[in-house]
Amino acid sequence: NAGVTQTPKFRVLKTGQSMTLLCAQDMNHEYMYWYRQDPGMGLRLIHYSVGEGTTAKGEVPDGYNVSRLKKQNFLLGLESAAPSQTSVYFCASKSSGANVLTFGAGSRLTVL
């Protein structure tokens, strides 16, 4: 049982480039989330989804887009990367009847 898998684990981008982070979960969870973690700021919610085909904005959505075309996958896109988006990104999921979030191992993104 893999849980929550994030790809890639590391990526370096130049300012203005685009990329997509993939999150896949095999637990049949309805809810999925993307957080970013920055030193001294905890984890901040970027976007989330309460089910296949639905997405919603979190605390810090600007500069990011998401899609949930399949229940098991939640994609986070950066259309034009900026140095301020240098961060560690975490995907998480949970079932609709529970409160416990299962997190992936993170994706470290550096924007030069």
Q: Does 46 sit near another protein (CB under 8 A)?
A: no
Neighbours of 103 (CB within 10 A): 15
State the binding string over 59-78 for another protein (x if CB under 8 A, else -): x-------------------
Strands (E), 4-86: 4-7, 10-13, 19-25, 31-38, 42-49, 56-57, 64-67, 73-78
Q: Does 45 sit near another protein (CB under 8 A)?
A: yes
Tell me the closest approach of the beta carbon of residue 83 to another protein, in angstroms.
22
Side-chain-side CA neighbours of residue 68 (13 Å): 22
Q: Which residues bind another protein (CB under 8 A)?
A: 4, 31, 33, 35, 40-45, 48, 50, 56, 58-59, 90, 92, 94, 99-101, 103-106
